[in-house]
Amino acid sequence: MKSGFDVGQGGWCSYDYHGCIRAGRRLMVLAIWEPIGGSDGGGYIWTDEHGWSADTPENPVSVLPFTLYRNWIGEGPLDLRGACVSVHLRGDELQLFGADCHFWVVGSEDRGRWHYNSSPLKVSHGRWANEPNVFTLHNDEALWHRSWSKDPELPPSLDDQLGECHSYGFSFVGFDQVPRGRFCMDELEITLSREQ
């Protein structure tokens, strides 16, 4: 599955947790689409601090600048165990304030979130990197961090969340103040494992 962003945002949003509190409902802010200027010269998407805010129930506190729910694009969950992910990430005047960028997953019924914190992602600054980030989603809890659980007494396993993943995206974690600046994404490709 490839998202080249040549014809729009593909359903990608930022999560505004503080906006959710004010509105009393889940609030997502659609990413901005640019038709040219991507890593291959075509389209790409971006967001900034006007679309995201600190997700304070997460431990540690996270920012979710890019979020996708599969049902937003009329698709069902995926089995991401062993999947390979390739993506270009770029910052324009992006201040991370010590944060790392991670891939994350949420499984069925929004029961919890796991961040792939053993594989921090490279965010190029001011231009696209020559090569994308490429990583494999190993089904090993020692390589991930569960940042949130709907039911702390019965937290979901990584296997459950990866095996029936209906939401995923990219996070900033470990900052001493909320990151700000433009965060861009292009050429996201997910290749499912043949071992499923």
Instruction: Give me the pLDDT at residue 195, please.
Output: 58
| CATH level 2 (architecture), domain 2-191 | Sandwich (2.60)
The pLDDT value given to residue 19 = 82
**pLDDT tens column, 111-168:** 899 999 999 999 999 999 999 999 999 999 999 999 998 888 888 899 999 999 999 9
- In this structure, which amino acid lies at residue 93? E
Contact status, residue 129 vs residue 122, Cβ threshold 8 Å:
yes
Are the CB atoms for 186 and 9 separated by under 8 Å?
A: no
Across the chain, what does the average pLDDT equal?
A: 94
Global confidence as pTM: 0.94
Q: Where are the domains of the chain?
A: 2-191
Question: Can you list the positions of beta strands (E) in 99-179?
Answer: 100-106, 112-115, 124-125, 133-136, 145-149, 167-173
Distance CA 162, CA 7 (A): 28
pLDDT in tens for each of the 196 residues of the chain?
A: 899 999 999 999 999 988 888 888 778 999 999 999 999 999 999 999 999 999 988 999 999 999 999 999 999 999 999 999 999 999 999 999 999 999 999 997 778 999 999 999 999 999 999 999 999 999 999 999 999 988 888 888 999 999 999 999 999 999 999 999 999 999 999 999 975 5
| Lookup: tokens for 112 | 């919890």
Q: CB-based burial of residue 167 (10 Å sphere; 0-12 exposed, 13-18 middle, 19+ buried)?
A: buried
